[in-house]
Structure 1
C-alpha cells in the first residue's frame, strides 16, 4: 500500500510500509513541514518585494532630501563650533553649545555621515572634555572604556590602560592595527578549527550515507552535466544544477536532492520512493530548512543592515501604504530642515546666539520647575491633568 505526500514543488513522496511503524503519522509530520517551508518561502518573497518597493520609493522621494538635511546639520555644527571657540560666551553657554555639538555629531555618525571637518570637531571637543575632567571622572571613564572594549573582545593591558591615549592619532592608529591583527588571528584559528570539524563530519557522512542517496546523486550528476548540451542558456542552467547538487551532496540534504530530481528529471515519474533509512534524514533536513528560512526571514526584517531599515521604517500591506509612510518621513525631514535653518539663523551674531541659549536655558528651567512643583503638589492636581 502506497502512502503519498505532495507539496507545491510538485514533489510526491511515497513512503513504503516499512518507513514507519505509524505511516499515517509520518505522512502528517512531513506534510506539515513541507507546507511550513512553502509558507516561509512565500513570506520571504513578500518581505523582499516590500523592501524593494520601499527602497525604490525612498530613492525617489527621500534620498536627496535626507542628504540635504545631513549636509545642513554639518554646517550647523561648524557654526556652533565657531561660536564655541569665541571668548564672548560664559561657561554655562559654552557647556550648552558643547552638548549640542556632541549630540548632533553623534547623530550624524549614527546615520553613517562622516566628513573630515566633523571628525576634527569631534576629536577636539572630546579632547577638551578629557582635559576638564577631575580624577574621579577620569577613573570612571577609564573603567567604562575598559569594560566596553572587553565586551568587544579586545585584548587590553588593564594596568596601563588610559582612555586619554585615544586622543593621540598615532595611538589610535596603532590600536586599530593591533585590533585588526587580533581579529585576523582569531578568525584564522576559528576557520582552521571549523575546517577540521567539517572534515571529520564529512568522513562520518561518507561512512553513513544511504546507498540510495548516493545512487540518486550520481544519476542526477550524469543527467545534469553541462557538457551534454551546446545551447548557452541550457548550459548555464545545468551549471547552476551542478552547484546545487554539489551543495546537496556535501550537506547530505535529502530534501534538496529530491527537489532537484524533479527539476532535472522532469519527464520521469512524479513519485519519489522513500524507505525507512531515508525517512529520518529527510525529516531532519526539513527541520533544518525551516530553521534556516525562519532565520533568513528575521535577519531580512530586523538585522540585515541593507534591508532592515527599509522594512522597519516603511513596511505596509500595499505600495500605497508604503508610499504614505515615505511621504510622512519626507514631511518630517522638511520640518527638521526648517527647524535647523531657523536655529542656524539665530547663530548669525554673538548677541542672537546668547539670546537663543538664554531661551533654551529658561525653557529647561521652567520645565524642571514645573516637574518639581507637580511632585510637591501632586495631591492637589486636577484629575484632568494627571502627572
Structure 2
C-alpha cells in the first residue's frame, strides 16, 4: 500500500530548521536558496513531466505560477516535458498555443499528447481508418498530415454520404458539410468486395456527437470484416470465444484518453473521452448481452504512454546535454498533475525500463480539490505548480 501523502503547506512561523525549505514563495526568484541536484558532470540527474489542464492552464488561462515555474527550470537547464491526456490538434499547433499562453519557449520534442503514440502505429497507415472526436476535421488532419495515415474517414463523412446512418444528426448537417469529404468507396452490403471497409477505429479526442459516433462504432464492431451495413453471422455464437463477438475481422478499437473528468472553466469538472468510453461500453454490453469489448486504451495512467513519454524526456535531456555523453542520465522524474486517476496512478505504477524512479505530485488547481481523499495516493499534495517545483527541487537534493 502506498504511503500516506505528505501535504506541502505554507507555515505561518516555521521553525529555523525548515525555514529555508518552506519559506520562499517563488524559488525562481531566490536562485541561491535552491541548489539543484547534479551529477559529477555538472548536470541534473532528474527531470519533470507536467500535465497541462488543471496544472499549467485552466481552460485557456494560465494558472498562477506556471510561467515562473517553467522559466525557472529552463534557466537552470532542468529538463521537462508536457504530458497531457488532451489532444484534438497537431502537436505543432498545440505547442505554439501553449508557448504563447504561458509565455515560455517550447517545442514539439517536449510535448506528448494523448494521441501522439498513434503516430508510431505504422501497420495501419496504408489501411482505411475511422478517426473519431474533436472539432471539425482537425483530428483527421492530424492523422493524415502529421502521422502519415493514407485513408482517413470521419463519422461526418459517413453522415453526409448516408444521412440515414443516424437520422438525429440531420440538425447538425451544415456543420458536418463544412468539412466532410467524399468517401474512398461507397458502402454496399450486397457487394462487400466493392464496399467501404474500415480496418481500425481511433478515438483521438472527446467525441462531440455521441449518438452518431456510438451508432457507427456499433455498426463496425458488429459487422463482418469491417464492412458497414453488414452483420457478422458469428455474433452470438456460443461455440466461439466471446460468443462470437469481434471474431470476424472487425476493426480494432483504440482510445487515446481514459480520463472520465477534466478541469475546464466551469466550476465543476466536465466529462471527457473516458465518459464516452464508459457510456459506449455500457451500450455494447446491453446490445451483446454482456460480451467483452476488445479495445486498447492509450494515455495516462497506462504503461505504454509513460514509456513513450520517458523516451521523449530522455531525448530532450540528451539534446540539452549532448556534450556530456552520459548513458543513463535520469535517476528521478517528478510527475506533476491534478488528476489522481491518471497523473498520479500512472506515475505510481509506472515501471521504467531504464530504472528511473517516478514520484507523483498532486496539485489542488484542477480536478482534485483540497480536503478530498485522492483515489490514488500521491507522493505529496501541493497547492499549485509553483509549490510542486519548489518541493521537487528540494527533494532532489536527498
Structure 1 and Structure 2 fold alike (TM over 0.5): no
- With normalisation by structure 2, the TM-score equals 0.24
Bigger Rg over Cα: 1
Which structure carries more strand by proportion? 2
Which structure carries more helix by proportion? 1
- With normalisation by structure 1, the TM-score equals 0.24
Q: Which has the higher contact order (CA 8 A, sep 6+)?
A: 1
